[in-house]
Structure formats: structure tokens, C-alpha cells
A and B are shown apart, each in its own frame.
Chain A
Amino acid sequence: MIFAIARKEFVDAWRDGRFRLGAFVMVILLATSTLLAWRQTERTTHERAAATALERENWLGQGQKNSHSAGHYGVNVFKPVAPLSLFDRGIEPFVGTTLFLEAHRQNQAAFAPAQDATAMRRFGELTGAVGLQLLAPLLIILLAFGSVAGERERGTLRQVLSLGVSPRALVFGKTIGLGAALACLFVPAFLLLFGALSSAEWVSTADVGARLGWLALVYGVYLSTVLFVSILVSTLAPSGKSALAILLAMWAAGSVIAPRLASDVVHASMPLIALADFENEMNEDLQKGLDGHDPRSKRMEEFTQRVLRENGKARVEDLPFNFRGLAMLESERLAGEVFDHHFGRLWDRIDAQDRAVTFGGALAPMIALRTVSMGLAGTDFGRHRHFAVAAENHRREFVRVLNEDVMKNASPENQAYAAGRELWEQLPVFALDDVGLERVLERARLAIWILIGWFIASGMALFWAANRMKASAA
């Protein structure tokens, strides 16, 4: 019986011109946006690879010079493009993609794509994720608002129940049938994307298939929840029109207003430090030390005395190595502590903001979905932080190698020492060991649980509504 109901719902859905039109528009929008995003992502991947190669060429071709000067010459590193950013752009348009690595300074990533955008960008980008988060629920509402209320108005509900069909079986069958109609639309789209990504030569992330699988699962849970809620409202509403009005109001509140509101509330209650203040405080701590009572000059003086004492010398000139190189190493170590403190505090704050916004998913599941989607696509703040930390580690290693070279080779007798290509080649090209899927899922755990909570709660509410349908049907 449930199969018969599901089959009838499936066929009825596809015979419904409104659904077919909605599905057609949806497919065209998703296909167009994905194709455009594919081209852009592929182009950006190639551009960044070319820029990395050019940077390397410049670095290797900088000529003979003092190693420390090479540290100031610096090198640009580029954030690798996450292949699934073609599906969900996340925060990518608003954060920098390029980091300039140089001696003494930890820089922030620069050149956010949004800086190059036209005013049209303020409307946002249409991506697969936006389509599934915003438009797919509308399609589900269009499909399901009359699923029970429409039958009640038409009189077919009485007809069906008079045949001995239990309301639970009816609702269950409808859910399966409508879900299958929607699956016919979305599953092939996911499979197509999976196939295309698997065969694309520019896709290097090994776990892209697993990530896409998780995305399919998470979006499946979210869209199922929307379907449950739509059928639930249709079951409880007095008419199809009121069901549609209620569902559209819920869509606007949950998909448009709530994410904006959650973000604004969190920003107001947990504000971020202004960029100028951040820079000022960091520069002050670089000079005065993190405790504010231990000036840099004093610490360097103490360091000098300790090195002389340990080597049994009275003057730095008598040390068996270039003290300037060692002092720069120490200076970098001290600066590193300050950078770790300030950047760590800033990033922890952004992480806390993200977590707080995710809690808003308890009121609107789309907020939780966005968190998981961005994480799996590799376009969330977690990956950006991972890139910034990896780039900073690379910078410190690169500066250490250069300063050690100064220490060892630029002796007082050899003041004109200049390193060359041999040393530059010892410094590896920056390569990001991307955030593993396990860590992504760990980070998105709260959001995933919220989505599961919504799925279970909406399913139970639908079960409850189906059980009380008898009275309302008569």
C-alpha cells in the first residue's frame, strides 16, 4: 500500500506542470552556475599554479646576495584552490588568497576576490550550494504544500481514508514518493558532478569524492527535513493556500532573515578587533614584549650576555660564528611568540563567532547546513586559518634557513659574503597539506548534530501529525 501511495505521488509530481517548470528552472540555474564556477575554479587553479612557478623562478633568479637580504626579498605563496569551491564559495570571496612571506613579519592574506568584484557582486553568487540551500527548499514547498491540505480540499483524503488506509501509511507513502521525485532531480546532478570532478586533471585533492559523498548526505538530510516540515504544515494547515503562506513565511525567516540575524547578533555581541588596533597592539608587543615590561632591547641584551657567557667570550666579534645571524634567529623566535599570541587570539575569536552562529542552526537549519557545506567544500574559516598557519610555519622555516646561513657563513672575516642559487634551491616551494576530512567533520560536528536533530524532530512531528489526521479529515 505504501508503495502504491509513493508511486502515485511520484507520478503525480512529475505530471504537475508547476513542479516540472520549477525543476527545469532549478536544473538550468544549477547547471549554468556550476559550469561557470567550474571554468572559474579551473582557471584560478591554473593561474595560481602559474603564479607559484613564476614566484619560484623569481626567487631562484634573484642573484647573489646576503641571505638575510633574501629574507626581505621575500616570496609570495598562494592559497590552493579547493576543488569543491566550485560548489560552495563559502568565505573565499572575502578572504585573501595571497600571503607575502618575509623576514620579521607575519602578514595577513591579501587580494580577496571580492576586491576585484563589480557592484553586481553585492547580490551574491549563484552556486550549487546557494541553489540547494535557497532554491531547492522553494521547489520542495511548491511540490509538497498541497500534499495533504490539497487532498483534504479536493475530498480525496476522505476517499483514501475510507478505503482503510492508515494516516501514517498515507503520510509515509507521500514522503517517499515526493522524496523520490526530488531525488530524480538531485541525485543525477550529484553523480554528474562527482564524475566530472573525478576525471578533471586540475583536481588534486584525493578525498574530493568522499567530501562530495558527505555533501550529498548532509544536503539529503537538510532537504529531507524541509520535505518533512512541508508535509507537516500541509497536514496541519486548514487549506493549501494557508499551508503555502506558512511555508513561504518559514522559508523567508529560516533562509533569508535568520542567517543574517544570527551573523549580526554574533558580531554585535562578540566584535572583532579593528585592523588598525590589531596592528598597533602587535607592533607594541613586538617592541615591549608580551608582558609590556620586557622591552625588546633589554631582552636582546640579556640574550647577548647569555651567548657570550656560554661561549666564554667577552665580545660578540670573538664568537666563532656570525652573532648577527644568531640574534636574528632569536629575534624571529621572540616575534613568533607575539604573532602566535595576536593572530591566535584573533583567529580563536573568529572561530568562536563561527561556533556561535552555528548554534543559530537550532532555530534555522540552513545556518548549520552552511557551516558543514563550507567545511566540506574547503571554503570555511577553518581551512583559511590552516593555510595561514601553514604559510607562517613555512615563513619561519625559510627565515631560519636564511639566518642560519648568515650565522655560519657571514663571519667577521667574510663580511662580503653573499649566498646564491644553491641556497635558494634548498628552500622548498610552499605546499599546503590540506585539512583532512576527519578534521573537517570534527570541526563541523556541532552543525551535523543540529541537522540530525532537525531531521529527527521534524520526522517525529510529522509522525505525530499523521496520527491525529483522522479527526481533521472528517
Chain B
Amino acid sequence: MLVARKLIKRFQDRVVVDELDLTVAPGEIYALLGPNGAGKTTTINMFLGFLAPDGGSVSVSGIDVAQDPVGARRKLAYIPEQVALYPRFSGVENLDYFSALGGRRHTTNELFQLLERSGLPRAAAERRVATYSKGMRQKVGIALALATEARALLLDEPTSGLDPAASHDFSTLLRRLAQEDVAILMATHDLFRAREDATRVGILLGGRLAAEYTRKELEHADLEELYLERLRS
């Protein structure tokens, strides 16, 4: 579970996150929408413990990030817009290294299986990642979440720049992770994917949660229109 309580972050005099309350339960995919500078990445950085909040608190699976940032990180996986990998290593070697850092050791066969579950065939997993497309990198990121058995997943613009097929594959993987009771928080500009995948959608404006919709509420509404309406107001 991911929880933010009265979360505040300021950069000098500018309030970037303003008393944000947010809970992402296990099995939920929460899409955080908002224009650039709305505070989406800052919120994710506070969940990761890379930024210290100026007020309020964040916790991951019940672990207060401020108290135990390393322990909190052990419970989550992070997939940025561009999954960063070591170019001189193959996909499976990258996964082996990152999962070892996450405290999980797997046999080579298990690692190949995890990558295959994430949509990366063995032949590709054996190649150096310098030749990988963005979609292939994202798949390694998902495999890492599987390998570390993360209970929470933070995604920052994960489908930006992916072609439709890769984006669809990625969504399928996310939904599969949610079915395994992983709490997923996704900062995105991709309204289509937010509507397709998210169980809840929040619109962040000026660091505040301006609106929140459940999947049911969005079934008969146009998310783009709701979003633009919020921006205009």
C-alpha cells in the first residue's frame, strides 16, 4: 500500500505539493494526471525517499519513508520514463544485478522466465541492452518488479514514447501485476492508458488533488474533457 498524508513539498518559496492525501491500495492502479510542474514526479520522488517532505508523511507497505527510506524502497519497484540499464550488460545480466541489489537472488533460468513473463524472449534477453528499444527496456523494468516481488510499483511516464503495441503490452503487464495485489501509482500524461488501466484517476493541479475519479465514474464520461475542464478552472 502507498499512503501520502498531508504531504507538502516546497522548492524555495514555491509550493510544489500542497497537503496531498493519497492512498493506493494493493491491487489498485492509480493514475496521477496533471500538467508539467503539477507535482507528480515530486510526489514519486518523496515515495522513493529521494526528496524529504517539508510536511506530512509518506509510507510504503506501512513503512514510513522518512524513518526508514532503505526499508521502504525494499518494498517497491520504480519504473521511470526511460528505464536505465547498463549498456554493456545483457537484459538478463541487468535483471540479475538489479534483483541482487533488491535483495533477491534468482537462478539464470528463473531470470529468463521472469523476462519471458514480461514479454522479452530469451534471445533478446541474452543481447546487450545497448541495442534495446524503449519498450524492451520497460519490459526489463517490469521483470525487475516481478523479480524483487515488490509490493508497490511507482511509474513515472512509463508509456511515453512507446508505440501502441508496446504500450498495450505494457498495460497488460501492469494489470497482471495489479492482480497479484501490487499497489501501482502511475504518473502519466497518457489519458487513454489512464482510462484503460487505472482503477482510480487523480488530477493534480498546483500540488493539490483537484479531482479524483473511480473506474466506474469514468465508464460513461470523457476523461479528456474532465481533465481539460479541471485545467481551465
Which B residues are CB-close (under 8 A) to A165?
70, 101
Most buried by B among A11, A154, A155, A163: A163
Q: Contacting chain A: which of B80-88, B118-126, B182-190, B224-232?
A: B80-88
Most buried by A among B45, B50, B80, B154: B50
A28-64 vs B, CB cutoff 8 Å, 1 = contact: the mask equals 0000000000000000000000000000000000000
Q: How far is the CA of A162 from the CA of B49 in the complex (A)?
A: 8
Q: Contacting chain B: which of A1-9, A290-298, A455-463?
A: A1-9
Q: Contacting chain A: which of B13-21, B71-79, B206-214?
A: B71-79
The one of B74, B85, B101 that contacts A5, using a Cβ cutoff of 8 Å? B101
- Cross-chain contact A164 with B74 (CB below 8 angstroms): yes
Which A residues are CB-close (under 8 A) to B48?
158, 161-162, 474
- Cross-chain contact A156 with B88 (CB below 8 angstroms): no
- Cross-chain contact A158 with B97 (CB below 8 angstroms): no
Which A residues are CB-close (under 8 A) to B101?
1, 4-5, 160, 163-165
Q: How far is the CB of A305 from chain B (nearest CB, A)?
A: 91
Number of B interface residues in the complex (CB < 8 A): 30
- Cross-chain contact B80 with A158 (CB below 8 angstroms): yes
CB-based nearest A residue for B44: A162
B102 at the interface (CB under 8 A from A): yes
Which chain A residues in 128-156 approach chain B with CB under 8 Å? 154-156
Q: How far is the CA of A264 from the CA of B97 in the complex (A)?
A: 51
- Cross-chain contact A159 with B74 (CB below 8 angstroms): no
- Cross-chain contact A8 with B86 (CB below 8 angstroms): yes
Which A residues are CB-close (under 8 A) to B102?
163-164
The answer to whether A166 and B88 touch (CB under 8 A), given A1-B100, A4-B100, A474-B50, is: no
A16 at the interface (CB under 8 A from B): yes
B132 at the interface (CB under 8 A from A): no
A330 at the interface (CB under 8 A from B): no
- Cross-chain contact A158 with B89 (CB below 8 angstroms): no
Number of A interface residues in the complex (CB < 8 A): 23
Q: How far is the CB of A152 from chain B (nearest CB, A)?
A: 10
Which chain B residues in 41-84 approach chain A with CB under 8 Å? 45, 48-51, 69-74, 76-78, 80, 82-84
Which B residues are CB-close (under 8 A) to A4?
97, 100-101
A470 at the interface (CB under 8 A from B): yes
A12 at the interface (CB under 8 A from B): yes
The answer to whether A154 and B84 touch (CB under 8 A), given A1-B100, A163-B101, A164-B103, is: yes
Which B residues are CB-close (under 8 A) to A473?
50
- Cross-chain contact B71 with A156 (CB below 8 angstroms): no
Q: How far is the CB of B80 from chain A (nearest CB, A)?
A: 6
- Majority SS of interface residues in chain A? helix
Which B residues are CB-close (under 8 A) to A122?
none
A15 at the interface (CB under 8 A from B): yes
The one of B51, B73, B100, B154 that contacts A161, using a Cβ cutoff of 8 Å? B73
Q: How far is the CA of A162 from the CA of B80 in the complex (A)?
A: 11
Which B residues are CB-close (under 8 A) to A158?
48, 50, 78, 80, 84
The answer to whether A159 and B97 touch (CB under 8 A), given A12-B86, A470-B50, is: no
Q: How far is the CA of A5 from the CA of B71 in the complex (A)?
A: 19
CB-based nearest B residue for A167: B70
Q: How far is the CA of A420 from the CA of B154 in the complex (A)?
A: 100
CB-based nearest A residue for B85: A156
Which chain A residues in 261-290 approach chain B with CB under 8 Å? none
- Cross-chain contact A162 with B76 (CB below 8 angstroms): yes
- Cross-chain contact B78 with A12 (CB below 8 angstroms): no
B148-161 vs A, CB cutoff 8 Å, 1 = contact: the mask equals 10000010000000
Which A residues are CB-close (under 8 A) to B73?
161-164
Which chain A residues in 169-227 approach chain B with CB under 8 Å? none
The answer to whether A8 and B97 touch (CB under 8 A), given A159-B84, A164-B103, is: yes
Q: How far is the CB of A400 from chain B (nearest CB, A)?
A: 73
- Cross-chain contact A474 with B86 (CB below 8 angstroms): no
The one of A1, A12, A155, A160 that contacts B88, using a Cβ cutoff of 8 Å? A12
- Cross-chain contact A164 with B51 (CB below 8 angstroms): no
The answer to whether A474 and B45 touch (CB under 8 A), given A162-B73, A162-B78, is: yes
Q: CB within 8 Å of B: which residues of A?
A: 1, 4-5, 8, 11-12, 15-16, 154-156, 158-166, 470, 473-474
If A156-B85, A474-B50 are given as contacts, then 9 extra A-B residue pairs at C-beta distance below 8 Å, sorted by A number, are: A1-B101, A12-B88, A159-B83, A163-B101, A163-B148, A164-B72, A164-B73, A470-B50, A470-B69
Q: CB within 8 Å of A: which residues of B?
A: 45, 48-51, 69-74, 76-78, 80, 82-86, 88-89, 97-98, 100-103, 148, 154
Closest 9 A-B residue pairs measured CB to CB? A474-B50, A155-B84, A164-B73, A162-B78, A4-B100, A164-B74, A156-B84, A15-B88, A163-B102
